[in-house]
Structure 1
Amino acid sequence: MWLITAISSAILFGLAGWWMKVSQMRGGSTRTLLLGLYASGTIGFGVHSAVEGTFPFLVDPKVWIAGLIIGAGSAWGNALFMNALHYGPASLTSPLTNMNIILVIALGTWWYKEPLSAFQAMGITLLLLAVLFIAHKRKEPLTITEKRWFILVGTAIVMFALRNGGLKVTDELGLPSAPILFIAYFLSLCWFLIPAKAGAARAAKRTGLYYGIVAGLFSYGGLQLYAMALATGQANLAAPIFATNSLVVAAGAIVFYKEKLSIVQWAAFGCMILGLVIIRV
C-alpha cells in the first residue's frame, strides 16, 4: 500500500510542477505563481487537518518549530532554485537540486536504521539516474561561469532536504503532518506576500496567480501523500520514488507541447519503470 501511496505522491506533485511549467510557457509571473501555490496549499492542508482532527496540534510549539523549518526549506528552496536558473543551465540545476533526496535516503538508512537490501539499492540507483537523465538537453551549454550558481544550488539542496527529510523526522517524533505542512505553507505564503521591488505586468500576475492556485492544490495532495508514504513505509525508498515527480512534467511536455526528448531522457523513463519494478519485487 505504501508503494502506491509513494507513486501517487510523485504523480500529484509532478502535476503541480506541470502547472508551474504551463504558467511559465504562458508568461506568468513567478512571484504570483508561488503566491497562489502557497495560498491554495495552505487552505488544502488546513481543511485536511480540520477533517482528520489534528488542528488542535497547532497549540504545540514543536509543531510550529517543525512547520517553520519545513516551510523555510520549501519557500527558500523554490526561490533559490528559480534564482539559480538565471545563472546556470536547467539541465544541471534541476537534477542537482533533486539530489537532496540522497540526504533523505542517508537519514532513513543510517540514522533511523531502515533496512535496505542490495536489490532495493539497485532500484534506488535507477530512480536517481532517472532524475538525473530527465533534465538532459543536447543544445544547452553546460559551462558555469557564475560562482554564485554553486552557492545557490548548494543552499537549495539543503533547503529541499529540510522539507523532504523534515517530514520523516516529525513522523518519528509522532507529530501529524497536516498541521505542520499547514504552518509551513502559511509561513511561505507570508514570505511571498512581501511586495517585490519590480512588479510584473498585470496580465503576467493574473496568469501566474491562476496557475499557482491550481498547482498548489496538487502540491498539497502530493506532499500529503508523501508524508503518508513516509509514515507507512521507508524514507529511503519513498523519497527516491517521490523525486521522480519531474518525469511527470516531462511527460506533459511531450503530450501537450510536442517536445522531443533525447535518447538520454527516454532512458530516464526506462530507469524509472525498472527501478519501481525492482523495488516492488
Structure 2
Amino acid sequence: MWLITAISSAILFGLAGWWMKVSQMRGGSTRTLLLGLYASGTLGFGVHAALEGTFFFLADPRVWIAGIIIGAGSAWGNALFMKALHFGPASLTSPLTNMNIILVVALATLWYNEPLSASEAIGITLLLLAVVFIAHKRKEPLTITEKRWFILVFLAVVLFALRNGGLKVTDELDLPSAPILFIAYALSLCWFLIPVKTTDARSSERTGLWLGIVAGLFSYGGLQLYAVAIATGQANLAAPIFATNSLVVAAGAIIFYKEKLTILQWTAFACTILGLIVIRL
C-alpha cells in the first residue's frame, strides 16, 4: 500500500510542477505563482489538520520548530533554485538539486537503520538516473561561467533536503505532518507576500496567481501523501520515488506542447518503470 501512496505522491506533486510550467508557457509571473501556490497549499494543510483533529498540535513548540525548518527548506529552496537557473543550464541545475534525495536516503538508512536490500538499492539507483536524464535538453550549453551558480545549487540541495528529510525526522518524533506543513506553507506565504519591485504586467500576475493556486492544491496533495508514505513505509524508498515527480511535467509537455524528448529523456521513463518494478520485487 505504501508503494501506491509513494507513486501517487510523485504524480500529484508532479502535477503541481506541470501547472507551474503552464504558467511559464503563458507568461505568468513567478512571484504571484509562488504566492498562489503557498496560499492554496496553506489552506489545504490547514483544512486537513482540522479534519483529522491534529490542529491542537500547534501548541507544541516542536511543531513550530519543524514547520520553520521545513518551510525555509521549501520557500528558500525554490527561490534559490529559480535564481540558479539564471546563472546555469537547467540540464545541470535540476538534476543536481534533486540529488538532495541522496541525503534523505542516507539519513533513513544510516541514522534510522531502515533496511535496504540489493534489489532496492538497484531500484533507487535507476530512479536517481531517471531524475538526472529527464532534465537533459538538446543543444543547451553545459559550461558554467558564474561562480555564484555553485553556491546557489549547493544551498538549494541542503534546503530541499531539509524539506524532504525533515518529514522523516518529525515522523520519528510522532509528530503529525499536516500542522507542520501548514506552518511551513504559511511562513512561505508570508515570505512571498513581502513587496518587491517588479515589471510584470497585470495579466502576467493574474495568470501566475490563478495557476499558482491550482499548483498549490496539487502540491498539498503530493506532500501529504509523501508524508503518509514515509510513515507507512520506508523513507529511503519513498523519497527516490517522490523525486521522479519531474517526469509528470515531461509527460505533460509531450502530450500538450508536442515537445520532443531526447533519447536520454526516454531512457528516464524506462529507468523509472524498471526502478519501481525492481523495488517492488
Q: TM-score range by the shorter chain?
A: over 0.9
Match status 1:65 vs 2:49 = no
> Equivalent pairs: percent with the same residue?
85
Q: CA deviation at 1:198?
A: 2.4
1:224 corresponds to which letter in structure 2? Q
Q: Deviations over 1:84-130 (max 9, x none)?
A: 00000001100000000000000000000000000100000000000
Q: Is it true that 1:76 corresponds to 2:76 in the alignment?
A: yes
Name the CA distance, whole Å, in 1 between partners of 2:198 and 2:116: 49
CA deviation string 1:47-83 (max 9, x = no partner): 0000000000001100000000000000000000000
Aligned to 2:11: 11
What residue is the counterpart of 1:221 in the other structure? 221
Distance 2:199 2:134 in 1: 33
Match for 1:249: what amino acid? V
Q: Which residue of structure 1 aligns with residue 210 of structure 2?
A: 210
CA distance in 2, matches of 1:84, 1:57: 36
Q: Distance in 2 between matches of 1:251 and 1:55?
A: 37
User: 1:79-90, aligned counterparts within 5 Å?
Assistant: 79-90=79-90
Q: Which residue of 2 aligns with 1:93?
A: 93
**What RMSD in Å do the two structures reach over aligned CA positions?**
0.5
Corresponding pairs, count:
281
Aligned residue type for 2:160? F
CA distance in 1, matches of 2:105, 2:99: 10
CA distance in 2: counterparts of 1:176 and 1:158, whole angstroms = 23
* Cα distance in 2 for residues equivalent to 1:108 and 1:233: 11
TM-score (norm 2): 1.00
Question: Structure 1 counterpart of 2:272, which letter?
Answer: M
State how far apart, in whole Å, the 1-side matches of 2:168 and 2:19 are: 27
Unpaired segments ≥5 residues, structure 2: none
The C-alpha deviation readout for 1:197-256, integer Å capped at 9, x for no partner, is 224111110000010000000000000000000000001000000000000000000000
Task: Report the residue type matching 1:46 in the other structure.
Answer: G
- 2:250 is matched with which residue? 250
Q: Deviations over 1:253-278 (max 9, x none)?
A: 00000000000000000000000000
- The equivalent of 1:171 in structure 2 is 171
How far apart in 1 are the matches of 2:139 and 2:260?
12
Deviation beyond 3 Å, 4+ runs, structure 1: none
Alignment of structure 1 residues 1-281 onto 2, 5 Å = 1-281=1-281
Instruction: Report deviation, 1:171.
Output: 0.2
DSSP 3-state at the match of 1:27 = coil
* CA distance in structure 1 between the aligned counterparts of 2:68 and 2:197, rounded to whole angstroms: 25
| Distance in 1 between residues matched to 2:101 and 2:207, nearest whole Å | 31
Distance 2:52 2:198 in 1: 41
> Which residue identity lines up with residue 27 of structure 1 in the other structure?
G
Q: Which amino acid aligns with 2:57?
A: F
The answer for unaligned runs of 5 or more in structure 1 is none
* Letter matched to residue 85 of structure 1: L
Using the alignment, how far apart are the partners of 1:241 and 1:24 within structure 2? 25
Match of 2:241, SS state, is helix
Q: SS at 1:9's partner residue?
A: helix
